[in-house]
Amino acid sequence: MSSEPVAKGSCLCGAVSISAESMSADVGVCHCNMCRKWAGGPLFAVDCGDKVEFSGNEHISVYDSSEWAQRGFCGKCGTHLFYRLKQNNLYIVPVGLLDVDTELNFDHQVFIDEKPDYYAFANSTKNMTGEEVFAQFANGPEA
């Protein structure tokens, strides 16, 4: 009962393609120090669940950024492909990577306590500190 993927995209050079069976329409931003180093600024991303497929796997490099998560990127062009939670195989994908026609909603920010003062967003969002994020995951959320 497989249907067309909800979300498709590719890296900058096209060596890696992604397709996801689901994608949240809610865009989140992570302000943690690691995401800002990785992305060069806050990471805008969407939850794509655990049913994500890639083509061009030979070009994907994976970095274990913590005990609980990995970050994937294209080894040819460097495009960031995913942040993956190891425990439940949940893929958080940079929203700019995906070619979507769906209307998206920027609705939450995490690690708000690590956000530098030099930028701010006008959107009204749910804001969570790092401690609140870790507490949520400790309680076994769907994420």
- E runs forming strands in 88-140: 90-94, 98-99, 105-110, 126-128
Instruction: Catalogue all structural domains in the chain, each as residue range(s) with its CATH number.
Output: 7-138 (2.170.150.70)
Mean pLDDT of the chain: 92
Phi-psi region of 13 (alpha: psi -120 to 50; beta: other; left: phi over 0): alpha
What residue type is assigned to position 67 of the chain?
E
pTM of the predicted model, to two decimals? Answer: 0.89
pLDDT digits (tens, 9 = 90+) for 41-88: 999 999 999 999 999 999 999 999 999 899 999 999 999 999 999 999
- Whether 81 contacts 60, CB under 8 Å: yes
Residue 134's contacts (CB-CB under 8 Å, 6 or more residues apart) are none
